[in-house]
Structure 1
Amino acid sequence: RISREFRNWKRYKGGMAQDIWVGEISKGDYRPITKFRGTDNFPMWHESGLYFTSDSIDGTMNLYRYDFKTEQFTQLTKYNDYDVKYPSLGPNHIVYQYAGSLYLYDLNSGQSKQVPIEIPSDRTLVRRFLLENPEKYVYTFDLSPKGKRALLNIRGEIVNMPTEKGVTYHVTPNSSASREKSAIWSPDGKWIAFFSDKTGEEELYLVSPTGGEWKQITKNGFAFCTNPKWSPNSKFIIFHDKFMRLNLVDVASGTIKVVDQGEYDDAWYEWGIQTYCWSPDSRWIAYSKMEQSLYPSIFLYNVQTKEHFRVTSSMTKDWSPSFSPDGKYLYFLSNRTFKPIMGFVDQNHIFLNMTKPYILILKEGDLSPFAPANDADQEKSAAEESRADKVLITTENFSERNIPAPVKAGNLFRLEAVDGGLLYLKKTENEFLKYQFVNDENQARNLELHRFTLKDQKDETLMEGIGQYHLSADKKRLIYRAGNKFGVVDLGKAKVGDGALNFKNVTLWIDKLAEFKQMFAEAWRIERDWFYDPNMHGLNWSKVRKFYEKFVPFCGTRGDLNYLIGEMIAELNAGHTYVYGGDLEHGKSVSCGLLGADFSMENGYPKM
């Protein structure tokens, strides 16, 4: 059976609940003495009785005794809040954990008393410390408008660092008590936008690129905000939230409008509206929204008229839209290449390498970018060629103007438009994994960066061995990630290591106890916002937070914090509510040998 101690489920009554069994070794007559559907564990034999813990009365673990002579059960402790944990039997007492203390249960008097314990400690594991190897803690990254500086979110703080020479600015210094994330630089270079939970909820803020006072933009208590994107004119920001909404924020007024809201997710990584972009004139938003088919489709939104237009059908997976800088095309990725191979073992059809870039000609009547050259067409002026200042879109018959790029289909990700063409990431090795995606945390080094140019229809590999990239606002430089290596290079051929960022001047002081408080609060919010039952299984979730939060200051390690968070979410009485990760402290392991075995073959069979 499975112990509930680290399964984060209290009051469990499923088929894996523990029972107490007894029997004689010589007879092998083992039988359960506890028949309760819940948990019974930690048996301790003493004289004619068996002591153990059980949650059989009200779901709270308490001490019990079973008398072998009378076959009666007696409840010894009667707590109804925190569980009795990890009891251990001595000659005359049972020691156990209750709340944040140890208690002794006297076997003779039947009374419990707290054990006063004081352990003088320097608490070295939670001391304020200088973060080593900050490149290992990068969450998101971006570039300044012209790509001269890098903007990184490192362990919940925002750092503005030079790509070559210059000063490193700690934009949000000494902010261990809150988590700052998803920092992006405005195209006009004046502001850095980011999310922070310093109020207790995630909100959007602005700050000068060199730091200083924060300007709070939203005050709505958003949940799990992701992927903010500035409009090219630096007046608006769009971002996605837990409620699958694409939110449009007027930076000057703080006014918020919901562009659209998704209704479906695949119960894994793709949910709501996750990929989106601005047109060069800041008047249009293109985005992909998950549909009932569990395929995302491309839509357009006119910021001025507030109209929505469907671009692709729900029958294909279409995502990662990006407007061409000249405003004439909308590029996106789509899985429309169905060329199955046969599996050697079961002869099933296997669909791989399904993705190609597609090109939507925005204005009806415009020629395909691959149309043969015509002398009459070349008489047009350069000004007529670009519509960056006013993008013209015919809002019907999109499918008639949608063409695939002449690129070999593959496993592609993260398309971005550039002058004269587009970029995308490509995974060349097959992977036994259905849900594949790329974000800033991707530390893999198994992707190639490709550039496709419209004029000569050439597809070339610019970089190999990276995991993610971002363009500067002028689309002339890019920042890449390869494992924990970061670099900034001009748009063109490069290799990992070129333009490497130097983290030596990144000095982040970390206050672990302040971090612990923030992490606990965020874990509580995650359950509040994501748990499938809005009623939280009938719990007063705010009360549950207070019930456990008071122990956070006493956590001496990240392992302590994880355990405390686990105890809190275990109150939900639900499976698969786990806690993992973090700066866990591991003692030095000591290897030991194991007994071997001798094998021989007898009558054609192995004998051990």
Structure 2
Amino acid sequence: MSGLRPRAAGEYAWSPDSAWLAFVASDDTEFSSVYVWNVAENNVTRVTENSYNAAEPTFTPDGLFLYYLSDAAIESGSASPYGARGSEPNVQNEQRLMCLPLRAGFACPFHGGDELNPHGGVAFDPSIGARFKTKIHFPGIEKRAVAAPFVPKRAYAGLKVLGDGRTFIAETKDDVGWYLVVVDVVAGTFAPFFPDPIATIVSGDGEVVVLATDKGLALFSARAIAMAGRGVPQEQLLHSAQLWNPPPAFTVSVNPRKEWMQMYDEAMRNMRDAFYDPNMHGVDWAATTETYRPLVYKMTHKSDLRDVLTQAFGELSVLHVFISIRDDDE
């Protein structure tokens, strides 16, 4: 990945055949857009408009669609801009779920059912992504994205695709807190599933979902969660989970010095990859990394790493570089 040097990038997602890497990065407009990197040809192309923010791209298992979150249709949360106590500009209901067909002529599978089969057929064949290469037709791609009309405009986080690609999960919030929702893009349904998850993890094949809760870890079948959008009672689905609690003697061993060295290596690597000048202001960054490494071996507390990195980053002679080290108890 040495040829990939995006600016302020994050939220990476691989295509099923690992030929493309989707990610979010900002440009001179300061909006975040979705880009794709062609691994074989080592080039990067923007696939969403740069006049709004796009976030959390994810490929469907068949490699035919790219879903992401967009704030292209924000709404004002201010009742009035007038008066001495007029509120600052703010927005609400800011994100929509977008479907981007990667091939010209393909249509997003919203409402794929009919009277005889209200939930539609299997819209995606996950094996396609493994058997055939993902192809992207770029002309006009920014105009092909379509908003899922049945997904309300809200703030979302943690967009993930499950199973064969027709079911998505994400977290959204109301006045009380965050909760997990299930979206079926074929049946056109949006249903709440679980309140206040601590974390949500999806297996690599999209078939198992792990919810971290205050009662432990709950393991769900992706097929079971998919039924939340098809009329199956929520209580029934929750009872299908397998609950795992760490034993009372559950411990994790940590070697502080190895941890500090890993933090140092990651910080130096991140600076190398994210610095605006690929030439690093003429500084031999590999040599600089090794020059300051002996100081890490002499550290007696994690906070000492701030001093080491401050000296190392100072070699770049650049302003506005800040280093923050969290306390051990955080």
Alignment TM-score, normalising by the size of structure 2? 0.69
Aligned: 1:428 with 2:174: yes
Aligned: 1:341 with 2:77: yes
Aligned counterpart, 2:53: 317
- Of 370, 375, 390, the residue aligned with 2:110 is 370
Asked if the contact 1:465–1:496 (Cα under 8 Å) also holds between the matched residues in 2, the reply is no
Asked if the contact 1:286–1:300 (Cα under 8 Å) also holds between the matched residues in 2, the reply is yes
Residue 342 of structure 1 deviates from its aligned partner by: 0.8
Aligned counterpart, 1:45: none
Aligned counterpart, 1:286: 22
Q: Which amino acid aligns with 2:154?
A: G
Distance 2:172 2:123 in 1: 34
Distance 1:397 1:315 in 2: 16
Deviations 1:407-452 (A, max 9, x none): 111111121223323222213249xxxxxxxxxxxxxxx4322121
SS at match of 2:142: helix
Asked if the contact 2:95–2:154 (Cα under 8 Å) also holds between the matched residues in 1, the reply is yes
Aligned counterpart, 1:455: 186
- Of 466, 470, 479, the residue aligned with 2:210 is 479
Asked if the contact 2:216–2:246 (Cα under 8 Å) also holds between the matched residues in 1, the reply is no
Aligned: 1:464 with 2:195: yes
Q: Which amino acid aligns with 1:262?
A: P
CA RMSD in angstroms comes to: 4.0
Deviations 1:245-270 (A, max 9, x none): xx3xxxxxxxxx53x3212xxxxxxx
Overall identity of the aligned pairs, in %: 16
Distance 1:363 1:522 in 2: 42
Residue 405 of structure 1 deviates from its aligned partner by: 0.7
Higher helix share: 2
Asked if the contact 1:363–1:392 (Cα under 8 Å) also holds between the matched residues in 2, the reply is yes
Distance 1:472 1:526 in 2: 25
SS at match of 2:157: strand
Asked if the contact 2:68–2:98 (Cα under 8 Å) also holds between the matched residues in 1, the reply is yes
Aligned counterpart, 1:357: 97
Deviations 1:321-355 (A, max 9, x none): 11222333211111112210216742333112211
- Of 156, 163, 170, the residue aligned with 1:412 is 156
Q: Which amino acid aligns with 2:258?
A: Q
Distance 2:6 2:326 in 1: 29
Residue 582 of structure 1 deviates from its aligned partner by: 0.9
Q: Which amino acid aligns with 1:363?
A: R
Aligned counterpart, 2:34: 298
Aligned counterpart, 2:229: none
Asked if the contact 1:485–1:497 (Cα under 8 Å) also holds between the matched residues in 2, the reply is no
Aligned: 1:518 with 2:249: no
Deviations 1:492-531 (A, max 9, x none): 1555995332322745445xxx42x234434555665549
Distance 1:547 1:405 in 2: 53
Change (3 A) 1:525 1:497: farther
SS at match of 1:466: coil
Distance 1:291 1:371 in 2: 35
SS at match of 2:261: helix
List alignment gaps of at least 5 residues for structure 1. Answer: 1-246, 248-256, 264-270, 376-380, 431-445, 556-560, 585-608
Change (3 A) 1:307 1:457: same
Q: Which has the greater radius of gyration?
A: 1
Asked if the contact 2:109–2:123 (Cα under 8 Å) also holds between the matched residues in 1, the reply is no
List alignment gaps of at least 5 residues for structure 2. Answer: 116-120, 226-233
Change (3 A) 1:518 1:305: closer
Aligned counterpart, 1:502: 245
Change (3 A) 1:522 1:372: closer
Residue 476 of structure 1 deviates from its aligned partner by: 2.3
SS at match of 2:87: coil
Change (3 A) 1:305 1:342: same
Alignment TM-score, normalising by the size of structure 1? 0.40
Aligned counterpart, 1:16: none
SS at match of 2:242: coil
Aligned: 1:399 with 2:139: no
Change (3 A) 1:286 1:547: closer
Aligned counterpart, 2:231: none
Q: Which amino acid aligns with 2:191?
A: E
Instruction: Compare 563-572 and 394-403 and name the one that shifted more.
Output: 563-572
Q: Which amino acid aligns with 1:328?
A: L
**Alignment size in residue pairs:** 285
